Structure 1
C-alpha cells in the first residue's frame, strides 16, 4: 500500500475537505443525515436522477474535472427540459480503492464549477468505497410553478418540432476522444477535434431555456440517447406522429467537416446520443416568441419538422434516409 493511500482522509474529513465547500444552505453544512429544500408557495418540485459508471458512461482515464462536470450536467439537462429551475442536488460516489486526493480534488472542482454556474448547490449524499469501477449517482431537484412542468405528453398535431444548439457533436466527440479513432478523424484539424471532444466530455445543459420552455413549449425532453430515438419517445408519450426534414437538423461546423470526410456519419449524428440538447414542440402561435426568447438567452432553436396525427408514425424528408431499424437510439442495456 502506498504512502498516499495510507495518509488519505477518512470519510468525514473527505466530505469536509472536498464536498462541504460545494454545499448550499440546504446542505446544512453536510453534517446532518439529510438536506433541506424549501420550495416557495405555489411551486412544485421536479426530481431527476442519473448514474454514471466508469467504462460505461465515460472512460476511466477521462479528466476528473470533466467527469464531475458531466455527472451534474446530465441531470441539469433533464431539469431544463421540464422547465425547472435547479435548486440543489445530492451525490453518491463509490470510489475505487486506488483513488487519490489529486483525482478527487479535480473532480470536485469540475463538479463545483457547474454547480455554481447553474445555481444548483450540493445538499447531501453519500461517499463509499467499492472494489468495482468508479460509480456516480446524482439526484437533482428543481422547481416550477404549480402545474407548469413541461411534459413529454403535450405535443399536438400542427405543433412545430424544434431542437436547441447542434446535434451529433457528442457522438462524434466520443469517436474523436476514444482510444480507437476512425480514419475520418485525421481529416479534422486540431480545433475541430478539440471542439467535438469537449462536447462529449463537457456537455452544456440548457438550463437557460427552462423558463422559456415553461412559457411556450407544449412538450419537451432532452436529447441524451440520440435525436431520432428520443423523438420516438416523445411521440409515443404524446400519441402523435411527425414529419421531419433531416436536412434542417442543425450541425456544428466541426460536425459538418466530419460528415464531409465520411458522409455515412450522418446516421451517427442523428442516433448517437450524448448531445444533451433540448427537443421540444410548440404551437404555431408560440414559435416566433419561443425562438426569439431562446436567442436572447444565447441558445438557438431550430425548427426541424411538424407534429402530425398518427401515433408513432414518422416521415423523414430531405436527402437523408431514416437510420436502419435497431439503430435509432443509444441503448443502456
Structure 2
C-alpha cells in the first residue's frame, strides 16, 4: 500500500474538525481557524531509514530537518512563527552530535524568525526527528493544491535532482535551502503551491490528482537540473528524469502562476530565482504529460514508485529506473 492510500485509510477513521478548511491532500499544511485568524499547521517525521538523510555533518542534518519542516508552511503562503520538536538521539552519539543538530536547527529558525517553544528528547539506536510548525496564513488566504479552470504556467525554485542523486549514489545529503525570499515573492500571485519533499514528479502527480480537469505539462528541457547530474547521466545511461522521479526531494517550491500575471510581478519572481518548467490548462485529455523541448514525450499513467512498497532500497531504485526509462527513454 502506497503512502497516499495508507493516509486515506487512516484519515477515514476520524471526523474532520469544522474549523479545518483544507481537504485531505488539498494543501501542504493543515488550515484551521483559531479565533479570528486562519493558521497553517504542519508536522513531519524523519529518519535515516525512510528519508535517507545522512548525518556526517550534524549541523547540516539539523538545518535540513528544520528546512524540511518549515517548507510546508512556505508552500501554503504562511510565515513560520512557532516550532516544536521531538529529537531522538543515537545512544552511541557524543554530545557534539546533539550540539551540531541543534546549531543547524537554530540557524534555520533564526533566519525564518520562528521560535522553538518546546518538545521532547529520546534515545534509540538511530536518530529520529519529528518537527511541528505553525504560522498565520497570509491576508490573501492560504495557498492550496487546488486550481480553477484557467491557464497557468508552472514554476519551481532552486535546482532539482541532487537529493535523489545523493541517495542513489550513497553520497552525503546536500544542504536544503530555506526559500524565504522566493516564498515572499510568489505568495501574492501564485494560484497553487506545493513543496517537492517527495521529488518533483511526485509533487506534479499530486497536483494533477487534485485538479482532474487540467492537463499538466512538464518540459524536461526547461528543468533546472543540478549540475552534477548531467555528467553522470551521460556516463551511466541513467535518464536525468530518474532523479526527479525518486522520492528524495529537495524541498523546493513548485507553484502555478496565472498566465495573465502582471509583468512587474513576474519579473520579481524571476529575480528571486524561480524557473518556468511547464504549464497547466483545461483539456479533454487531462493528466500529467512530459515534453522535451516542446515536443510530446509521454503521459504518466500511474503514481511514482513509493519506497514504502519495497522491502529493500535496491528494489526501489530498480523500479524508479525502470519507470524513468519508460517515461523518458534511455
TM-score in terms of structure 2 length: 0.73
Cα distance 1:152–1:324, how it changes in 2: closer, same or farther (>3 A)? closer
Q: What is the match of residue 25 of structure 1?
A: none
User: For 1:278, which of 253, 278, 289 is the aligned residue?
Assistant: 253
Unaligned runs of 5+ in 1: 1-38, 179-196
Residue 211 of structure 1 deviates from its aligned partner by 2.8
Give the Cα–Cα distance (whole angstroms) in 2 for the partners of residues 110 and 290 of structure 1.
33
Residue 51 of structure 1 deviates from its aligned partner by 0.6
Deviations for 1:276-295, whole angstroms, at most 9, x for unmatched residues? 11111111111744442223
Q: Confirm whether residue 134 of structure 1 aligns to residue 127 of structure 2.
A: yes
Q: Secondary structure, in 3 states, of the residue corresponding to 1:225?
A: coil
Q: Confirm whether residue 318 of structure 1 aligns to residue 292 of structure 2.
A: yes
Cα distance 1:287–1:146, how it changes in 2: closer, same or farther (>3 A)? closer
Partners of 2:204 and 2:288 within 8 A in 1: no
Give the Cα–Cα distance (whole angstroms) in 2 for the partners of residues 40 and 288 of structure 1.
36
Moved more, 254-263 or 145-154: 254-263
Q: What is the match of residue 198 of structure 2?
A: 225
Give the Cα–Cα distance (whole angstroms) in 2 for the partners of residues 314 and 324 of structure 1.
6
Give the Cα–Cα distance (whole angstroms) in 1 for the partners of residues 189 and 36 of structure 2.
20
Deviations for 1:169-224, whole angstroms, at most 9, x for unmatched residues? 2111223443xxxxxxxxxxxxxxxxxx5xx3321132222233321111110111
Partners of 1:226 and 1:270 within 8 A in 2: yes
Q: Confirm whether residue 212 of structure 1 aligns to residue 185 of structure 2.
A: yes
Give the Cα–Cα distance (whole angstroms) in 1 for the partners of residues 82 and 285 of structure 2.
37
Q: What is the match of residue 24 of structure 1?
A: none
Deviations for 1:111-144, whole angstroms, at most 9, x for unmatched residues? 11111122222111111233x4321100011222
Map 1:139-178 → 2, pairs under 5 A: 139-146=132-139, 148-154=141-147, 156-178=149-171
Residue 53 of structure 1 deviates from its aligned partner by 1.2
Cα distance 1:311–1:208, how it changes in 2: closer, same or farther (>3 A)? farther
Q: What is the match of residue 203 of structure 1?
A: 176
Map 1:42-61 → 2, pairs under 5 A: 43-58=37-52, 61=55
Partners of 2:153 and 2:276 within 8 A in 1: no
Give the Cα–Cα distance (whole angstroms) in 2 for the partners of residues 263 and 288 of structure 1.
40
Q: What is the match of residue 95 of structure 2?
A: 101
Moved more, 231-240 or 262-271: 262-271
Deviations for 1:140-176, whole angstroms, at most 9, x for unmatched residues? 1122235511100125342112222222121112234
Q: Secondary structure, in 3 states, of the residue corresponding to 2:241?
A: helix
Residue 233 of structure 1 deviates from its aligned partner by 0.3
Q: What is the match of residue 77 of structure 1?
A: 71
Unaligned runs of 5+ in 2: 1-32, 310-330
Partners of 1:227 and 1:271 within 8 A in 2: yes
Residue 101 of structure 1 deviates from its aligned partner by 1.0
Partners of 2:76 and 2:143 within 8 A in 1: yes
Give the Cα–Cα distance (whole angstroms) in 1 for the partners of residues 135 and 208 of structure 2.
25
Counting helix residues as a fraction of each chain, which structure ranks higher?
1
Residue 331 of structure 1 deviates from its aligned partner by 3.8
Give the Cα–Cα distance (whole angstroms) in 2 for the partners of residues 261 and 287 of structure 1.
43
Instruction: Determine which structure has more spread, i.e. the larger CA radius of gyration.
Output: 1
Give the Cα–Cα distance (whole angstroms) in 2 for the partners of residues 302 and 324 of structure 1.
20
Q: Confirm whether residue 237 of structure 1 aligns to residue 210 of structure 2.
A: yes
Give the Cα–Cα distance (whole angstroms) in 2 for the partners of residues 323 and 61 of structure 1.
37
CA RMSD of aligned residues (A): 2.8
